[in-house]
Amino acid sequence: MKYLFGLVVTLIGFAATAQELNCTVKINADQVQTSNRRIFESLEQAMSEFMSTRKWTNQNVEPEERINCSILFTINKNGFNNNQNFNGTMQVQSTRPVYNSNYTTNILKWNDKNVSFVYRENAPIQFVPNQFRSDLSSILGFYAYMIIGWDYDSFGLLGGQQALSDAMSAMNVGQNGSAAGWTAFESKTNRYWMITETMEKAYQPFREAMYLYHRKGLDYMYDNQPVGQKNILEALKKIEKVHEAKPFPFINQLFFLSKREELMELFKLGELEDRKEMVRICKLLDPSNTSKYEQILR
């Protein structure tokens, strides 16, 4: 009995301190010509442990509440030098379960095309908030906080505020390194703009839309599909307000990259007026895919 009690206490303690992320990491070095393949395995393991075994917030997280996410780092053909210098692309994706279903929806989906860092075989990845330790830890820490922040926003109105503030800090600290992707002038679609637009007061309707779309929309679809669909449409109208503040902001691009196909499935059997309004908004905000959206009106 004493053993069982101790086991229960241990499990409760684990549940109270469980890590937020359940992250699958894959290193693709197919383009790289080198005899030292072990370093890629070392990097893969170090990144996986960094993302999945660290406690990122002070929130109590149940093991089943961990956020499923993935990172695919593809090393460029000439992106591995001196057994420690890496350059490539990093595909980051996170998903969220939908209430009372087996369906999962994308929250963040992005391919960061300019990732560079130094990593030495078998070295742990060091991270201290508000301190620069390495380009790799800054990049991974930034995406960890972004994943958590957007996920928490989908469950509670502006619920990811602290994690997103931490992502902003990681972005500012990352500028002390040599990696690209941290400044405004380099690109309009990089880490700088991802967090800056997310936290911009004028773009707050985007974060409100994340909550409305997921918690009041998708999570309602099982019990009350018409209400869920109406709330998703209202979420799109909020995202349209962001477009009015600044045409084609990066965060809107990220939204449609994750949701384009899902939106078409959600509305293809909806009321005609709702379908027309959804198509109008999507054509305005995601014009390169106009022909796809128009299909649901046929």
- pLDDT tens-digit profile of 240-260? 999 999 999 999 999 999 999
Mean pLDDT for 50-74 is 95
Q: Burial letters for 249-276: b for 16+ Cβ neighbours within 10 Å, e otherwise?
A: bbbbbbbbebbeeebbebbeebeeebbe
Helices within the chain (DSSP H only): 2-17, 38-53, 135-155, 161-174, 191-199, 204-214, 225-245, 250-267, 272-285, 290-294
Mean pLDDT for 40-68 is 95
Report the alpha-carbon angle 276-282-288, nearest 5: 125
Q: Are strands 104-118 and 67-81 parallel, antiparallel or unpaired?
A: unpaired
Mean pLDDT for 188-200 is 97
| Average pLDDT taken over every residue of the chain | 93
Mean pLDDT for 225-238 is 96
Q: Could you tell me which of 221, 252, 236, 251 has the C-alpha nearest to residue 101?
A: 221
Q: Across the chain, how many H-helices and E-strands are there? A: 10, 4
Question: Residue type for 35, please?
Answer: S
Mean pLDDT for 64-73 is 97
**227 pLDDT exceeds 70?**
yes
Neighbours of 154 (CB within 10 A): 23
